[in-house]
Amino acid sequence: MASLALLSTSSLVSRTKPRFVFSHGYRNYASLITRTLAFTPSSRFTQGQSSVRRARATRILTKRASASAQSLTEEMVEEKPVDDPNSGNSIRRRFLEFFAARNHKVLPSASLVPDDPTVLLTIAGMLQFKPIFLGQVPRQVPRATTAQKCIRTNDVENVGRTARHHTMFIMCGNFSFGDYFKKDAIVWAWELSTKEFGLPADRLWVSVYNDDDEAFAIWHDEVGVPIERIKRMGEEDNFWSSGATGPCGPCSELYYDFHPERGCLDADLGDDTRFLEFYNLVFMQYNKTEEGSLEPLKQKNIDTGLGLERLACILQKVPNNYETDFIYPIIEEASKLANVSYAVADESTKTKLKIIGDHMRAVVYLISDGVMPSNIGRGYVVRRLIRRTVRTGRLLGIKGDGKGNLEGAFLPVIAQKVIELSNEIDPDVRDQAPRILEELRREELRFVQTLERGEKLLDQMLKEALSSGSENGCTPCLSGKDAFLLYDTYGFPVELTVEVAEELGVQVDMNEFDVEMENQRQQSQAAHNAVKLAVGNDADLAETIPETEFLGYETLFARAVVEGLLVNGRPVKQVNEGNEVEVLLNKTPFYAESGGQIGDNGFLCVSRADSQLNGVVLVKDVQKISGSIFVHRGIITEGALEVGQLVEATVDPKLRQRAEVHHTATHLLQAALKKVVGQETSQAGSLVAFDRLRFDFNFHRAVSDNEILEIEGLINEWIGDATLLQTKVMALDDAKSAGAIAMFGEKYGEQVRVVEVPGVSLELCGGTHVSNTSEIRGFKIISEQAVASGIRRIEAVAGDAFIEYILTRDNYMKNLCSTLKVKAEEVTPRVEALLEELRLTRNEVSAARAKAAVYKASAILDKAFTVGNSKVIRVIVESMDDTDADSLKSAAEFLVSHMEDPAAVILGSSPGEGKVSLVATFTPGVVALGIQAGKFIGPIAKFCGGGGGGRPNFAQAGGRKPENLLAALDKARVDIISLLSEKAT
């Protein structure tokens, strides 16, 4: 449980969302707002636990006061909640109060979206204090305590299968920042465990680091733990470090013994059938140097983590964490929907119910903290968990919302229970409930649309793989192409495909899957980005052509040797004037498209000193293949070009400048988006072109007009600050430690280029940039729209493109002002007045057309005929020439109003070229016979190449084949006579 053992390599900047705070100081003020939830009674729990469920929710009234160093014990609690002391919420509260009474500042749980740019999600309780431990920021308090929400998905496949694996869990911790150290940490951990929570001392075991004699002595001499129950363990288990260098130290862990009758001889703390580690103490006392030596820290720190669900499992005397009151009520809700009983279910069913209970808890808290389902970064974590839950629910037989709607979503029903249980852990979840439930409903229904087809296809693929493996006597394997098809077409997360396949003993070719993913990424770029080479493959080319040395950061001109020429993808020795060519050089100042930035344009000219040939190549694009070979695509406008010649390569400086302006503006845009709409936004793709920039980002809603104005204002302010950019090359780990933003999922080498706009932006980037923000001149967003689920796109212009855009718009405005004969500031009210005049005129025209249609209708009223033996059902089926749809409706309403019930009116018209309008109006007497206008009109419209529908008494339809209108009306006449005759009889 070392706190930083699972640091992610992604680098998404995040935020910390405020929760509640325990205020220290001022007597007669309450310590915090807490809430307890009244659970539905269940026979599953012991009598004490059922009382927790039946207890009414109460609150500790509080008034906030400014923080001071005074102890929480000096504060007056006005009302104590009535609660089972071993309920999950009580355990959490008692932990915090225990350390608050020992002068720890009780701090809120940080968001699951961390401030640390090196970590995708909050994975440990100490994460919000990492800058203090690393000495990057000064401490605000000497000691603190928290109950931190955490998410880990590195071993999601074990969720539900083991007793303790979770994607979301609560880590309670106490921290010392250069204050107390080993003795106090150990003594308090023992006191908390044995006195506060009443764990039997003879059931507690301790582990210490091999060489940590000090901790061993404190546990034995000070606390009194027998030597036989203290185990020395190695570096892998009991030594924590923040990285290759930096703060580190030994750990000591507390274990609960479920089977003390087995004795102490040969006891193995790694035996999870007997022992449960529930409390980890990290003694941060050394600094690891680059040479690997350990130097004592001047400021020694304490970082502890107590697994709340694990302690609840012990105190509530249940066999696993899932059956504690944190998760079991969620499992009960899923059991109801699946119509199964957890208590008597087989292990497979229990595992599925546990997965749902765990995953729903995680996704509700993630969405509450602003993480929306998407295909990248944190959003992909949420989407993957949601889809895994949906599929698991379907395997349990859950259909619909449990309220009779088989087409409805079941996730929101279960999420309601998670929200009910959230009050003390995170009160904000209840406030976010409508957004959470709607997002879950939308995501589930979207996935279900393709899930059934995908499941059938996967089942077929796995059967074929098993059959092939059996025939060939080898391990069954699903191809990477098939796995990618399921992912790309049917929305199956590849992890889900692997999981299903493994259940049947089928492997998945993940190497081939990765290749398919990379191919899709390249193919999804704009068509002009493609490099069409017909040489055997890139690897063959790389064997004969050396890597291209890129000089474009320092210069726009270079002399280079032509290493290769390609025409239609085939290598040639010489290319003549008028031919398209692909040129490979030994070095180049041309930037090759990457990182969203398009390739440079310019010229390649044969050096006259080298040859009599006067060859000139107009370069229109530059691409990279095999990692670092630059391909210059262009056309020979003069002379000829040969392999081995010396050429002068010159980049078009104006176009390079336009690209640099847009690339730097893209960095500013990302920074502004994070500041204005939220730190949870992250880049999902970009295009840096000469005439514009395009930036895709994950976000769950449209950016408002006011937010766009604020973003533009921020960026133009940064431009006006005339800030010098700083660019440096450094180790990837150092860049991430410095807070540099990287594209999630992008692969980077050990050394990376970092571009910084001081005080604004810090990103890993290989593109070209301006040297000073003032070179951007101006920035304007020209569009914002959705491009995929959870993905928004902003297009903008900067620099020369910005000036051109403004001048063009200004010219449009001048022309408009001239046409309307008003000043610019008067255009809006003038246009609004014209629109109102147009609306009134249209209404008048529409009214006139309706009157004309009614007049026409009155002329055909006497064409009504009777149907049925009683001859009382009157029917009109007629064409009204070119009457428009609205007027046709008015005519039908007029006719039916002048006919006695029962009556049916069916009219058709051709209001324009390639247009057909149809309308059917039935009186109540006809509807009572079971004949509905909405169902009747659809088949008639198909004759005219269209469709339609509506209510039982009124329906409209359209079509595209006016030539078939009369035939359609003839069919309508025959059908209505047949139906009415049959029904009336």
List binding-site positions for Zn(2+). 663, 667, 765, 769
Output the six-digit token pair for 247. Answer: 């703060």
What ranges in 875-928 are assigned the alpha helix state H? 885-897, 924-928
CA distance 390 to 411: 8
The amino acid that residue 417 corresponds to is K
Tokens 């022309």 locate to 815
DSSP at 41: P
Task: Give me the torsion for CA of 347, 496, 793, 772, rounded to 10°.
Answer: 100
CB-CB contact of 178 with 144 (8 Å): no
CB-CB contact of 206 with 231 (8 Å): yes
CA distance 628 to 766: 13
Instruction: Show binding-site residues.
Output: 663, 667, 765, 769
CA distance 264 to 254: 16
CA distance 291 to 897: 96
Residue 905: Cβ within 10 Å count: 31
Closest CA to 101 of 148, 147, 35, 145: 145
Closest CA to 225 of 268, 247, 193, 262: 193
Chain mean position to CA 833: 44
Output the six-digit token pair for 85. Answer: 């002391």
Closest CA to 146 of 318, 9, 35, 22: 22
Output the six-digit token pair for 185. Answer: 């940490």
Burial of residue 184, with CB atoms counted within 10 A of its CB: 0-12 exposed, 13-18 middle, 19 or more buried: middle
Burial code (b: 16+ CB inside 10 Å, e: under 16) for 939-950 equals: ebbbbbbbebeb
The separation between the first and the last C-alpha atoms of the chain, rounded to the nearest angstrom, is: 81
CA distance 380 to 382: 5
CB-CB contact of 176 with 99 (8 Å): no
CA distance 458 to 464: 10
Tokens 């980077």 locate to 748
CB-CB contact of 111 with 17 (8 Å): yes
Closest CA to 598 of 527, 698, 541, 532: 527
Chain mean position to CA 899: 60
Burial of residue 506, with CB atoms counted within 10 A of its CB: 0-12 exposed, 13-18 middle, 19 or more buried: buried
Burial of residue 221, with CB atoms counted within 10 A of its CB: 0-12 exposed, 13-18 middle, 19 or more buried: exposed
CA distance 202 to 263: 11
CA distance 58 to 121: 32
CB-CB contact of 376 with 744 (8 Å): yes
CA distance 560 to 658: 25
CA distance 981 to 979: 6
DSSP percent split of the chain into helix, strand, coil, nearest 5? 40, 25, 35
Strands 954-959 and 947-950: antiparallel
The amino acid that residue 698 corresponds to is N
Q: Report CA-CA distances (Å) from 630 to 606, 821, 878.
A: 18, 56, 71
Residue 768 main-chain phi, psi, to 5 deg: -100, 150
